Amino acid sequence: MSTIQEINSARTGDKYYKINHDSGLTIYVYPKDGYTSSYGIFGTNYGSINTRFSVDGGQEITVPDGIAHYLEHKLFESEDGDAFTRFAKTGASANAYTSFEKTCYLFSCSDKFEENLEILLDFVRTPYFTAETVAKEQGIIGQEIKMYDDAPDWKVMFNLLECLYHNHPVKIDIAGTVETIAQITAEKLYQVYDVFYSLENMALCVAGNVNPRQVISIADKVLKKGKEKKITNDFEDEPYNIVSTYREQIMPVTVPVFNLGFKERADSRMMSASVSAETDVLLTMLFSPSSELYSRLLKENLINSTFSFEVFEGPGYLSVILGGESRNPKKAADIIKEYINSVRENGISRGDFESSKKACYGDAVSSLNNIQNIGNALIASHFTNREFFKNIDALAEVKFEDVERRFGEILNTSNCALSVVKGE
C-alpha cells in the first residue's frame, strides 16, 4: 500500500507530500494555493556518466558514450505517434533533458493536469525501439552533436573538464560523438532502459495546482511494480590533481569566452545540505556582483554581465567553475586567483558573510514562488539525498566559522585550469 508523509517547513509555511508508491516510485507533490498552472517532472538517476555498470552483482556492462541522451530522444516515440503530439492536443508544453547524472521528462500546463500526467507516465514507461527508428535518429543526433561542437560556451566547458579530469566520464560530451552513437542499437537501448528506468531508480515531482489524491490515482492507473535491481556504477579512481592548466581553442567569436575551474576533492556522495550552504554563501561572498572582485574586474573591463559562478557537482566529481566573456581571459584568471589568495591570507569579512547569507537565503525562499523551480529542486534533492527544506534551513543556520572552515577546504589556486575560446 502506498504511504504518504507530509513534510512542513516551519520557516516558510510551505509543505509537500512524499509518497512511497506501491510501484516502487517515489513521488513528491507540492501544492501551491492560488496557482492555476501545474508542473510535472519525471526523472531517472541515469545520465551521460553511467556508461559502465553492473546489475545485482553481475558482470560489468559497458555501453557507448551518449546512449543516455539518445534514449531520451527515442522515448518520445511510440508505435502510435509521439508524445509531443499528445501533449499538443491538451495544450501542455513538454520537454526533456539529459545531464551528466540524470535524465528528466517534464510538462507544464494550465488545464487538464491529470490527462497530462498520465501522458508523461505512460510514454516514459512504454519504450518502443526498432532498428529503423534507431538508425533514423543517428542522423538527427549527429547534427545536434555538430551544432554543439560549434557552440563556444559548450566547447569552453568541455575543454575545461578535459583539463580537470583524468578518468571520470564527466569530461565526455553528454551527447557522445558521431562515432559512439553509431554503435547504439535498439537492443542496447532496451538494455539500459531495463536497468536504469526501474521505478526504484526514478522519482516524480509535481507542483502547483495539484493534490496527492490526483497524483496517486494516475500513478495507480499507469504504473506497475517491476523487479527491483541493485545497480552499481563503476568509475575509475580519479586523482585530486588536474591534467593540465590551460587549453585554448580558436573559434569565430567576437569576444573571447573563458572558464576557470577549481578541482575539488569528491567521492560518490553529494555534499550535505550544510556543506552545500556553506559553499554557496562563500562563493557569493567572493564572486557575486556585490563582491570586491567583481567590481574590480568590471572596472578594468575584464568581464561583463555574462560573468557567473557555479558548483559543478555529481557522483565522483566536484569543481567550482567561473566564467564568461573577457577581452583578456588570462589576466582575469590571474586576478581571480590573486584575490582568492589575498582573502585567504587576510580572512573573510563578517559583513560580507552576513549580506551574502541573507542574499542566498532570500533567493532560496523566493524560488518557492516558481513551480518549475520547485519541481526541479525537488528532483535534484531526491537524487542527491538532501531533503528539500533542509537546504533552506541550512542557509538560515550557516555560521561565519562554518564558511571560514569551508574556505580552507576548496579553491586551491594550485589545482585549477583555464579554458579559453577566442577568435583568430
Mind listing the pLDDT tens digit for each residue in 212-251? 999 999 999 999 998 889 999 999 999 999 999 999 999 9
Q: What is residue 80's predicted lDDT score, i.e. its pLDDT?
A: 78
Q: Which residues are catalytic?
A: 72
Q: Three-state SS for 256?
A: coil
Q: Which stretches of 90-192 are assigned E, i.e. beta strand?
A: 93-98, 103-109
Residue matched to cell numbers 575560446? 421
- Report the helix count and the strand count for the chain, using DSSP H and E: 15, 17
The rounded distance, in Å, linking the Cα atoms of 260 and 157 is: 9
Question: Which residue has 519504450 as its cell numbers?
Answer: 127
Q: What is the pLDDT of residues 258-281, one digit of tens each?
A: 999 999 999 878 899 999 999 999
| Cα–Cα distance for residue pair 191/74, rounded to 1 Å | 14
How much is the CA Rg of the chain, to the nearest whole Å? 22
The residues near 318 (Cβ < 8 Å, ≥ 6 apart) are 263, 264, 265, 266, 271, 311, 312
The helix or strand, by DSSP H or E, that contains position 44, with its residue range, turns out to be: strand 38-44
Bridge partners (DSSP) listed for residue 44: 103, 202
Helix (H) or strand (E) holding 248: strand 246-250
Q: Which residue has the cell 579559453?
A: 420
**Residue 138 cell numbers, joined:** 543517428
Q: What gap in Å lies between CA 273 and CA 68, rounded to an integer?
A: 28
Alpha-carbon span 108 to 115, nearest angstrom: 12
Residue 357, all three cell numbers:
547569507
Contacts of 351 (CB under 8 A, 6+ apart): none
Ranges of residues in the chain with a pLDDT under 70 are none
Q: Which CA distances in Å does 53 have to 25, 65, 162? A: 21, 13, 22
Q: What pLDDT does 79 receive?
A: 82
**Rounded to whole angstroms, how far apart are CA atoms 161 and 314?**
13
